[in-house]
Amino acid sequence: ERARERTVPASRVGRLASFGGRVSLGPPHLTPCPLSADGSGSVLGSSPFLSEANAARIVDTLCKVRGAALKIGQMLSIQDNSFLSPQLQRIFARVRQSADFMPAWQTRRVLAEELGQDWREKVASFEETPFAAASIGQVHLGVLRDGMEVAMKIQYPGIAQSIRSDVENLLALLRLSAVLPAGLFADNTLRVLQRELEWECDYRREADCARSFRQLLAGDSFFEVPRVVGELTTRRVLTMELGSGVPLDQCQELPQDVRNEICLNVLRLSLRELFHFRFMQTDANWANFFYDAGKHQVTLLDFGASRPFSREFTHHYIEVIKAAADRDRAKVLQKSKDLKFVTGFETKEFEEAHVDTVMILGEPFSTPGLFDFSVQSTTRRVQALIPVMLRHRLTPPPEESYALHRKLAGCFLLCAHLRSRIPCHDLFQELYRQYWARERGA
């Protein structure tokens, strides 16, 4: 199914009508969906609400309204989620691939409102059909008067104003699809995502984040951050120098040593962002990393999800990873309490499942030599523990962990996708030594 040109409903009433009017909840449209063979379904289970016909309507609705609901759907689809039913997984996989795009007249209206009626005089050329369309905006190719090719990201109208209502509508949809486990803390999760989405809708903030990363990585020979074109950037339009290359998920057929180097550098950068910069671009979408084989460089894109981390958080978090790397279960649990992942009043079953999960995720950093991501079974083993944690969790995770874990999961999934073999143990041990050396010298 291909993306289509469709007007984005800009008013809250129009968006609510799109949500409410597209899904049939009763006969004759309701077609029950079978449960899994053992009758249990997934953690969220299957639901008659998610018949094939309704699933198609939900996909159509999310791609039409875009915004927060589509963004959250895309976030969910890029992870390996055992708590989503197969029907929801298929829905979110479809909406991740593409959103529908604005018609040209609506695009021109946004540009005129943001850049002025004379916006065309500020560029030599502008392609009216976008080359990418996502949840919050779409991207067009342009050429400046000096010949520089640029990517112009244009925000859909009404998106920023509709975040809260869109999140509420999506939460209602998830509740209709199945009973949400209390341990999922869905309200808290979506509240954190709502705040992140509000950041992403502010393109001036994203431009500042891009400039910060360009400065932080100025001396890095492997990563490149495109230049922001300030005179063509506003709260709803972001113009940046056009990057080159292909998304990293299209690099599977590159030689093994090249794939290893890409993954090692991406993982190293993620750890540097957290423990050195304390400022991370948290969007795990592989399309935000473009590899140029001619330059042997990766261009970094999309900085809207960038966020800071406190010194207190990174102090505790690096010790959780160190404890997992050292296979020290007692320290993993203690440092998890320091981080407020656990309260200390959970059941023994929950504590064991939590520590098991951390130990599994820490295996790349505890394995001497090269860690082979192509043969790891991390996802399957973690998924087996999630139902226990959802049943017995007493407190939501720290706010910082939502975006951080999406990013780290995305890095690990990329390493598995590219079948990389990299020295994660040595990478972390060196970073750990550098971290505390800097802190002692601070």
Q: What is the pLDDT of residues 352-368, one digit of tens each?
A: 999 999 999 999 999 99
pLDDT for 422 beyond 60? yes
Q: What's the whole-number mean pLDDT along residues 177-187?
A: 62
Confidence (pLDDT) at 6: 59
Vertex 287, ends 432 and 308: CA angle to 5°? 40
pLDDT for 73 beyond 70? no
- CA distances from residue 216 to 146, 177, 212, 270, 409 in whole angstroms, order as listed: 27, 44, 6, 13, 23
For 95-154, the pLDDT digits (tens) are 555 567 888 999 999 999 999 999 999 999 999 999 988 778 899 999 999 999 999 999
- CA distances from residue 74 to 95, 96, 127, 165 in whole angstroms, order as listed: 6, 4, 26, 18
Provide the β-strand partners of residue 153.
Answer: 139, 238
Q: What's the whole-number mean pLDDT along residues 260-268?
A: 98
Query: How does residue 93 score in pLDDT terms, banded at 50, 70 and 90?
Result: low
Q: How far apart are CA 188 and CA 61, in angstroms?
A: 24
What value does the mean pLDDT of the chain take? 82
pLDDT for 5 beyond 70? no
Q: What's the whole-number mean pLDDT along residues 216-239?
A: 97
Indicate the pTM of the whole model.
0.81
Residue among 75, 59, 63 nearest 8 (CA): 63
The 10 Å CB-count burial string (b at 16+, else e) for 36-61 is eeeeebbbbbbbebbbeebbebbbbb
Catalytic, 283? Answer yes
Higher local confidence (pLDDT), 253 or 59: 253
pLDDT for 84 beyond 60? no
Q: Which of 74-83, 131-140, 318-327, 433-442 has the lowest mean pLDDT?
A: 74-83
Catalytic residue from among 100, 283, 302, 356? 283
